Chains A and B, each alone.
Chain A
């Protein structure tokens, strides 16, 4: 087995980033759903919506805490394992990361305290502002991270200073860096993916309550809101994906060739494989089912034009074909499944029979891992498809390592991460499970208790339950008589 610093560092990065990315998309999407729910409460003054917001806030808080803990690891790892990369991209990547810290992290974590613990300490309007700020923070955060990653895919607005191993990229045009050729398409695709994930997550738990006959009113309302969001986003995602793939065809042709296993450029129309087993050694796709000419049409809008194949690139510049092809295809198939599922759901919801269709509700309960998988697979396509480069065309992954680190250190930290992440995952599941079993609190019937007057009504400042609460567990005295 190859236990070089390179292999180990890549393994560690894949492990920590994939584990991390279980949590942010749910925070991003659920943050948006919380804004919708609380806005409905403020508009209708229907306390079911308040109970709903409170319940999903608790889930949000657990998820957010794990996301922060695993996110710190990522920030450290650029320096610990990829020091040469950090020196190379620091000037460009750094301003995005600093912007994320100052604009996004402080906003999220500051207002999260009010969102989670502040129900009986501030007025409903101020609380709503806090919810919006947390959602906005999660959104800002995704902007800067996707911008930085997109710069690695399609570098722009920079020039190279220095020679050989001392070379590094320096920024020449900040806005060209921010709006590099792929950043906006990829941002849209990532955000829509996050909303699909969060909506399916909400639908899964709500469908389970309906099947168990618990919290019916709450569950049906939650399910309907999430179903509408899921249907819109699932339909929008293939459109965004198509726009993005057309860009990839121009900016990263080797990646597109790997995504579709185009080994030879050919002379006529290029087919689109629906399924298959690409074999890089034999340079062909085994057991493939293909539609003639479709890839040419999708990539260039011209069904006759041949798509650039991997034969146009030196073998050393090929991404791993099988992994890129399969992750991409699995993601696309899952995306199609989401469209079908949500349309079926909408149809029965419109007919008014959805909540009697137990089989369909079970499908929604069990479907929750799929959007998590689709989000992960999309990133695997993006990152594996960029190989062997860490910054496309500029810096190879194998040159990006830390020079002061030896293999045994990385092996040690991998073992540590496996242990601690297994534990974190257990906490997450355990806490989530207890929240779901506990369910939402009954909606209040009387007028709401939080003080209205003043900017920060402090009705419950020192009184009763919830005065001192944890991040994941708090009293719900606010709003109940």
Chain B
């Protein structure tokens, strides 16, 4: 295995970490409006209070690692998706501001405004991530000079929009299951209902997206002939999805959460398989695609970065676990909470 493949895998690990971790806090944001009482909304916000900031660092590090390992892909994607990325920044900053602002004033109108913006920003950010994945799967108009030749509107293809909706459904479900773990009593009972509803929404979109992908996106399965072991992941994915309702039904939300984590990991993995060995597939001419070789940094840089990652990642995993352990347990509201 060469360093280019290693970095493709490591980027996949960072993306998976981000999707699982920030996935649940974006999901909590999306179901935020489903509770009406102020105290209950505060419980929802405080369930992610100490964690969301650290979760977002996975995205920042993914961006940094993409820049470092595959600068051509970073430059093409970020400049090509200029408007989409600016909207994403808007959503991410607005979301943080909403959480901070909401608690500072008591007036109901003030609080509802920030509640709506917290929910809308979480949904918008998630939708954009999904649209980005959808476009990467379909391929994009990349010229021979590695530059993006489309427009913002050309990114809003029905398939990309469908994947955007799937992302929204997945994270909403993931966030609901997380909330079930962090709440108790009557609120927890109602959250049980949302788990079922968001799961239903997810299941419909999951099946639709799978069919659409198999029919219209040949790229998705091109690696399956050569690497048949990938089918194992497909099977595990289906089992994980099937285990979610089973675990909810049996009253084991911990297993349900593990299963939704596994589902997200499997979907991210299959996304990686679809791309490999390309990073950005050119819909104009496959030869103009950006691959893990023509878009990469030099061998020396990849080797230096691999050393940095080998030194740093064990620490990251260790103290991320410690922080989650310190903040385990159900949410309790204090008088100084959000």
Contact = CB atoms under 8 A, between A and B. Distances in A.
Given A86-B67, A106-B319, A468-B334, A80 B100 contact: no
Given A75-B63, A95-B68, A101-B57, A113 B334 contact: no
A474 B147 CA distance: 48
A69 B96 contact: yes
Contacts of A463: 332
Interface stretch (B72-80, B153-161, B209-217): B72-80
Interface string A60-87: 0010010011111101101111011011
B68 A97 contact: yes
A46 to B, nearest CB: 24
A109 B21 CA distance: 14
Contacts of B40: none
* Main SS class of interface, B: helix
A469 interface: yes
Interface centre among B57, B75, B298, B335 (most CB of A within 10 A): B75
Interface residues of B, number: 79
Nearest to A161: B298
A94 B71 contact: yes
Interface string A377-391: 000000000000000
B85 to A, nearest CB: 5
A468 B101 contact: no
A86 B75 contact: yes
Interface stretch (A115-123, A360-368, A443-451): A115-123
A34 B192 CA distance: 43
A349 interface: no
Contacts of B309: 98, 102
B51 interface: yes
Contacts of A106: 54, 57, 61, 312, 315-316, 319-320
A466 B316 CA distance: 26
Contacts of A424: 93, 97
Interface of B: 43, 45-47, 49-51, 53-54, 56-57, 59-61, 63-65, 67-69, 71-72, 74-83, 85-86, 89-90, 92-94, 96-97, 99-101, 103-104, 145, 147-149, 297-298, 300-301, 304-305, 308-309, 312-313, 315-316, 319-320, 322-323, 325-327, 329-338
Interface of A: 62, 65, 68-73, 75-76, 78-81, 83-84, 86-87, 89-95, 97-103, 105-107, 109-114, 116-118, 121-122, 133, 161, 168, 170-172, 174, 402-405, 409, 412-413, 416, 420, 423-424, 427, 430-431, 434, 456, 461-477
18 contacts: A79-B67, A79-B77, A80-B79, A90-B67, A90-B74, A90-B297, A91-B297, A95-B68, A95-B304, A101-B60, A112-B53, A113-B326, A113-B327, A171-B301, A402-B79, A456-B325, A470-B337, A474-B334
